Amino acid sequence: MAHIIEITDFSASALDIYARLTENQLLNRHEPEKGMFIAESPKVIGRALDAGCKPVSLLLERRHIAGQAREIIARCQDVPVYTADFDVLTQLTGFQLTRGVLCAMLRPPLPTVQEVCEGARRVVVLENVMNPTNVGAIFRSAAALGMDGVLLTPSSSNPLYRRAIRVSMGTVFQIPWTFLDTGQDTEGWPGPGMALIRDLGFKTVAMALSDHAVTIEDPRLRQEEKLAIIMGTEGDGLSEETIAGCDYTARIPMAHGVDSLNVASASAVAFWQLGRH
């Protein structure tokens, strides 16, 4: 049975998760087993539940209890459901930016790189992609366009940051991912990380502007049985060391003198071309 709790005290510690804790505090690096994240909207929360994520509490508008959140509340069983009318909830920082239903959840343990890559034909590697909006958009494209997994270097934004989850529309829960530095697989990038990807049978392609780059239409890329598509940070792109260590360097053909696309837009084009059988 749902445990409905009317909000009367905005300073209640139970609401810190939603209104006062930073992303780094939610992440809880010192005790990762206690780390949490916030999922927004019934669709995204449902995808997180489908992936096995454990709910801690819900925060929602009262009108959603018997409406769009009804199934989510039933699936979350006995967790506290904090509620009030919308004009009351907007006193909580940021609530007016949501879709009326929030769920605090425990962060699941990360898989190993080997587990993400097991059986995969196409994986994405994000090198220092630090904008959560871009990370979320890349995950959405990866899930939609045939990628089997995502690997991130340690400096990349965490896919379970609130904005990344929102932009991804919950696809961060549908496609396997992990960091390339989990304390057990590799201790650095690109050296050990690239070596690990190769050991798992992948050829690597750096998406970068280079005089030696082939276009993404090059048939050799599509013919590779296992391919890791490596994309770089928003400003500087991939490091020279990464580009030098890849089997291929590829670019997206441009028109009208445009030199490149935003990394999220470029990912969609690359995944569409390179993910097709």
Model confidence pLDDT, tens digit, residues 204-261: 999 998 878 999 999 999 999 999 999 998 778 899 999 999 999 999 988 887 877 8
Q: Which of 61-75, 93-107, 167-181 has the lowest mean pLDDT?
A: 93-107
Per-residue pLDDT, 184: 44
Per-residue pLDDT, 265: 94
Q: Which of 40-54, 76-90, 100-114, 154-168 has the lowest mean pLDDT?
A: 76-90
Cis peptide bond N-terminal to 253, omega within 30: no
The CA distance from 131 to 168, in Å, is 13
Q: What percent of the chain has pLDDT over 90?
A: 69
Per-residue pLDDT, 268: 96
Mean predicted confidence (pLDDT) in 92-112: 82
Parallel, antiparallel or unpaired: strands 101-106 and 36-40: antiparallel
Per-residue pLDDT, 32: 82
Which three-class secondary structure state does DSSP give residue 244? helix
On the question of pLDDT at 112 being above 70, the answer is yes
Q: What Cα–Cα distance (Å) separates residue 141 from each residue in 49, 171, 193, 271?
A: 21, 9, 23, 7
pTM of the model: 0.92
Burial bucket for residue 88 (CB in 10 Å: 0-12, 13-18, 19+): middle
Reported as a pLDDT band with limits 50, 70 and 90, residue 86 is confident
What residue has token string 């994405």? 124
Mean predicted confidence (pLDDT) in 174-201: 83
Mean residue pLDDT of the chain comes to 90
On the question of pLDDT at 10 being above 90, the answer is no
Per-residue pLDDT, 96: 58
Closest alpha carbon to 142 in 171, 99, 178, 111: 171
> Half-sphere exposure of residue 157, counting CA atoms within 13 Å on the CB side?
23
Which residues, 6 or more positions from 268, have their beta carbon under 8 angstroms from its beta carbon?
141, 145
> Half-sphere exposure of residue 35, counting CA atoms within 13 Å on the CB side?
16
* pLDDT tens-digit series, residues 21-73: 899 999 988 888 889 999 999 999 999 999 999 999 999 988 899 999 999 99
On the question of pLDDT at 182 being above 60, the answer is no
Reported as a pLDDT band with limits 50, 70 and 90, residue 173 is very high
Higher pLDDT pick, 21 / 137: 137
Q: In the 8-state DSSP scheme, what is residue 250?
A: E
User: How many other C-beta atoms can be found within 10 angstroms of the C-beta atom of residue 14?
Assistant: 15
Mean predicted confidence (pLDDT) in 178-183: 77
On the question of pLDDT at 9 being above 90, the answer is no
